[in-house]
Amino acid sequence: MPRSGGERKLTGKQEASLVATACAKPPAGRARWTLGLLADAVVKLTDHDSLSHETERRRLAENGLKPWRRDMWCIPEVVNLR
């Protein structure tokens, strides 16, 4: 049964390229990937003229990736309550 909605913009191979790029080191001078940087990189690798941020975000979210975020930990001070 076909799914509702429009056709996917990226093929499986192109989605794999997007995920692989997002998991790679960001370009020189950048701390992390942004959706704009990823779009530019994927456009260079595929035959697409452009790629929307929402298409990218959805494909990355399906794989549990958020390359524009950094993990940060906050370890609170232990307070002696005696």
**Type of residue numbered 48:** H
What distance in Å separates the CA atoms of residue 75 and residue 57, rounded to the nearest whole number? 30
Measured N-to-C along each axis, helices 35-45 and 53-62 cross at an angle, to the nearest 10 degrees, of 90
Q: Tens digits of per-residue pLDDT, 22-33?
A: 888 888 999 888
Q: Tens digits of per-residue pLDDT, 8-48?
A: 888 888 888 888 888 888 889 998 888 889 989 888 988 88
What distance in Å separates the CA atoms of residue 14 and residue 34, rounded to the nearest whole number? 18
Please report which confidence band the pLDDT of residue 75 belongs to, taking 50, 70 and 90 as the band edges.
Answer: low
Q: Which of 66, 61, 59, 68 is nearest to 18 (CA)?
A: 59
